[in-house]
Every structure is written in C-alpha cells, then in structure tokens.
Structure 1
Amino acid sequence: MAAVIYLHWTATGYDWIRPGHYHSIIGGDGRVHRLHAYSVDLPAHTYGRNRNSVALSCACMGGIPNPWTLPPTSAQLTSLCAEAAAIARSWGWQASDISLQSVLTHAEAASNRDGRVMHDNYGPVIWGGTGERWDLLQLEKNGPSDGGDQLRRRIRALLRGDRSPTPPSPSAFNGETMIQSRGEDLAVQIDEFGRSWAIAADLLSRYEIPYAWDASLRRILIGSIDVAPTYRDDAVQASVGWPLVELTLQTGNAPVILTGILRPGPDGDRAWCRVVEFAEEFGVSMSYDPLVLAERRGG
C-alpha cells in the first residue's frame, strides 16, 4: 500500500501532547511536537489504515459540550500543512502527488472517500456515516464541509512554493568556545540567543551512549534503554532555519528524544543539538556560570 498522510484533531484542549497516538501533535500555538519517527507504524490512529502511514494531529476540538469552543487555530492549520508538505517533500513527492489518495483527513478516511479500505462508514453523518469521526470535515464553525480539499490545496501550494512564506534565515552562530564535560573540554557553538550547541555525536560518545546515524531518514538512533522522552514544549522547530535532525530511541515505536539541526562543516554535514536540552533529556548533571556538564545521574 502506498504511503499516506492522515490529518486529525485530538478532541482535547490545546495543550494535550501525548505519545502513542499520533506521530506529531500540533499545540494551539502552532508548535509541532514530534513524538515518533515518521518511519515507524503506530497502531491506532486511523482504523484499518495504520501501516505505511503518518498521522498528524491538531490538539483542539475538546470543548464540552460544544467542541467548537476550542476550534483549530490558524497557527495550527498553518503548521499542519507545513509539516505535511515537509514530509511529502522528504518522500520526493511533488504538488501533483497531493490527492485524496495520498493525504486524507480522518473524516474522509472514516467514510472511505478514497475507496482504499472497505469498512463500515464511521465518518460524518452527511456522508452516510455514524458520525464517530469527523476530524477536519470543517476548519471553522459553520464552515463548508470541504476541510480536506482546503488543506490539500494549501499543501500543494507549499510544495509549489507559490504561496509559501519567505523561508526563515538560519539561526546565527557566534563562533566556537569550550565548556567542561565529564572533566574534559568540549567544543560548542553559541547561537544568537546565547544557547550552547554541540555536535550530537560528540556528546553521545562522551557519555558512552550507543547510537547509529541513519542518513536516509536524517536521524540518530539511540540504543540506550534508560532514557524517557519528556516531549519538550521548547523543542527545536523548523523556524530555526536549518534542516532538522531527530534523536530517536531505537525501539518499535521510535519515540523522539530531541530535535537537532544539520550544519555543514569541513568534514561534511554534522548533526548538532542544544547542550542543555541534551543534558536534561539524558539525565546529565549540570552547573552554570560557567556551564559545566558532569556525570549522568544514576549512571
């Protein structure tokens, strides 16, 4: 079965971010929380359609008794389309590849609008269904029932580049300095906001954490079994302007530990991550002024 992107809402509040259900969840402010690697199958996002697919969801529509008191925000829909376009681009898709067969809302999938999987219609009542799932049938209260068509048009436009915003300028770095890590020097770069970044492989090696670089999917597979992702609110976003890299646990559902960036160097492109974020995610003790990394807690 060809790969498909499914678009959902969570039927929760704007800050509901939980792993296991969707590959990424977009908060009410438009921030994308990448919870699982897009290369793995998750078991329960779209009935009968979980293999070879990616599920993106907006955290919204959880108002009680009226879900429309928490509608999809403009920022969420913008990020939803941008993330879908980025995935499509990484798969080599063109704007012409975005169709009802390749990108569907859960409302459309539940009603089998693409004719792909024959099952009972649990989609919108207006399409002959039971009404259990109507995700993104409408994008606003009392709006037209063509949410899927609207989103696909926006995704196609992003892939064509005819209505995409000006690409963000890559975050600036102000040169190299040294910090102490496990009693030894570690080269870091300081960004425009004063945050320290280091080559991810250098940090992983320094703390003897097994890893493997997956170049085809631009991710680092982490072999450690004592890391529990915290799904940070301040995770690196595409607005940083550099290509993104994921550090992902090497397990069946491949949870994302943290997101880094890919920067060119004299020895080729290297994956970098924020030093403090790395320390917090991997349980490394820290002190400040100056920044010093000690040992992993419990290690």
Structure 2
Amino acid sequence: MAATIYLHWTATGYDWIRPGHYHAIISGDGRVHRLHATSVDLPAHTWARNSNAVALSCACMGGQPDPWTLPPTPAQLMSLCAETASIAASWGWTAADITVQRVMTHAEAASNKDGRMMHDNYGPVVWGGTGERWDLLQLAKNGPIDGGEQLRARIRALMDGHSVSDAVSDRLGFKGETTIQARSEALTVTIDGEGRSWAPATDLLERYGIPYAWNASERQIMIGALDVAPTYRDDSVQASVGWPLFTMTMQSGNAPVILTGIVRPSESGDRAWCRVLEFAEEFGISIHYNPFTLLERRGG
C-alpha cells in the first residue's frame, strides 16, 4: 500500500512541541520542528492508520472553551503545505499524486473519505461522525468544510511551481571558506551570509568518531551513538533556506531528529552540510570562541 501523509492539529497552544506524536510539528510562527525521521512509523497519530504513514501537525486549536481563539495561522498552513510538498517530492511523487488517497486531514481519515478502512466514523458530525476528530475540516472559523481539498490544491500548486525545498531562487548564500580547529586539527568550514560556519556533516562525525550511515533515498544520516539527547531547537534549519534538506536522526527507536541540514553538490557528488555550532551543541562538544574552536566531546 502506498504511503500516506496525514495532516493534523494538536489542539494546544502555538508553542506546543513534543516528540512521540507526529513526525513534525509546526509552531504558530510557521517554523517546522522535525521530530522524527519520516522513514519510521509512529504509534498513535491516526487511529488504525499509523503504518507506512507520515504525520504532520500544526500546533493550534487549543483555545478554551472556543478552540478557534487559537486557529491555524496563515504561516502554519503555508509551512504545512510546503513540508508536505517537500516530502512528496522526495518520494518521487508529482502534483497528480496529491489525492485524498495519499494526503488526508485527520477529519477525512476519521470519516474514511478514502474508503480504505470501514471503521467507525469518529470524524466530523457534519459527515455523520461522532465528532471526536475534525482536524482541518475548516481552515478558518465558519469557513467552508473542504479544508482537505484546499490544502491539497495548495500542495499541488507548490509542486507544479517547483516551490518546495529544492527551489534554486533565494537560496542561502555562502561567502567564503576559513579554517577552524576541531580536536586540535584544522577543519575547513564555509561561512554563510549571516556569518555562521557550515561543514560536511560526515567530516564532523568522522572527526569525533561517531558511527553513522547515509540513506541517500531518504536524505537521512542515521547515527549509531546512544548518548545523544535531541534538543528540538527553535532555530532549526528551515526549507526557506532554498537548498534540499537532510535530517540527522538516531538509528534506534522512533528515530528522533537530532538536526536538519542542507544538501549541496560537489565534484564528488551531493554532500550533507550542517551548521558547525549546532552540531557541537547537539553532540556535547566543548566550544571556545575568539577564535571559534571545537574541543572534545564532553557531553552536557
């Protein structure tokens, strides 16, 4: 059975970011927090539909007593569609593949709108359900009840316009190279337009003896170390940088995402690059400034 992408809201405030529930959660400002590799199944996002599925969710609709006091923001909906389009494109899907059979809101899944499973209808009351789940039935208060169709139309438009993470316009720019010290040896890094240092992720992993495996089809680096605790940073790399993205994940369990980086071409083929400071902070590497230096991996 083909993979399915399910679209949700969390019924919380705009800043609710917790691993274990969804593969990615989008905060109110539209920032995508990638929490788990899309290659793994999570156990409890869409009843009876958690296998071979990816769950994306907007942190919103937690207003009490009226959930619409915290509605999905325009930035969230834009990012939800862009993230879906990016994942779909990475799987080789085209705009024509964005159908209710492959991309569904939880409201549609609960009401079995794809006809896949004849389970109890726990979806919107207006569709004959019990009303337990109605995620993205509407995109605005008192709006039309075709939220899923609206989102799929936006996703198709993004894919037709090639405006997903592989877009070449408005890419994050790089202005030169320099050398820093990492474990008392020289490491060549590239500086972006905002003064941040980037390096090939595998160079950093090898420098610190961290085992890994590269999954090219998923654009994923899987880490074998067990002593890493992802921080789910608020400033993680976003698709707006304009480069194809990769994720670095733990190799065990539900594959939590450690960090997100970019894929850049080179003479030897595409390489995965990450921000050096973020890598150091995620892996417990001591840092000195003036000059910027990476020391040993001490943890904490």
TM-score range normalised by the length of the shorter chain: over 0.9
**Alignment deviations for residues 91-132 of structure 1 (CA, whole Å, 9 cap, x no partner):** 111222111111110001011111111211111111111111
- Matching residue's letter, 1:181: A
Equivalence for 1:171: 172
Distance 2:26 2:273 in 1: 24
Equivalence for 1:241: 242
Structure 1 259/164 Cα, relative in aligned 2: closer, same or farther at 3 Å?
A: closer
Q: Which runs of 5+ in 1 are unaligned?
A: none
| Residue 157 of structure 2 corresponds to residue 129 of structure 1 | no
| TM-fit CA distance, 1:49 | 0.3
Q: Indicate the percent of aligned positions where both proteins have the same amino acid.
A: 74
Distance 1:202 1:50 in 2: 35
| TM-fit CA distance, 1:164 | 8.0
| Residue 89 of structure 2 corresponds to residue 93 of structure 1 | no
**Alignment deviations for residues 131-177 of structure 1 (CA, whole Å, 9 cap, x no partner):** 11000000000111110111111111111118889854221112211
Equivalence for 1:32: 32
Q: Which runs of 5+ in 2 are unaligned?
A: none
Distance 2:180 2:143 in 1: 55
Equivalence for 1:188: 189
Equivalence for 2:258: 257
Residues 221 and 249, structure 2, Cα contact 8 Å, conserved in 1: yes
The within-5 A match list for 1:100-119 is: 100-119=100-119
Residues 284 and 293, structure 1, Cα contact 8 Å, conserved in 2: yes
State the aligned residue count: 299
TM-score, normalization: structure 1? 0.97
Residues 198 and 273, structure 1, Cα contact 8 Å, conserved in 2: yes
| Residue 83 of structure 2 corresponds to residue 83 of structure 1 | yes
Distance 2:201 2:108 in 1: 41
The within-5 A match list for 1:1-299 is: 1-161=1-161, 168-298=169-299
Residues 157 and 164, structure 1, Cα contact 8 Å, conserved in 2: no
Distance 1:198 1:57 in 2: 31
Root-mean-square deviation (Å): 1.6
Q: Secondary structure at the match of 1:157?
A: helix
Distance 2:197 2:159 in 1: 33
TM-score, normalization: structure 2? 0.96
- Matching residue's letter, 2:125: V
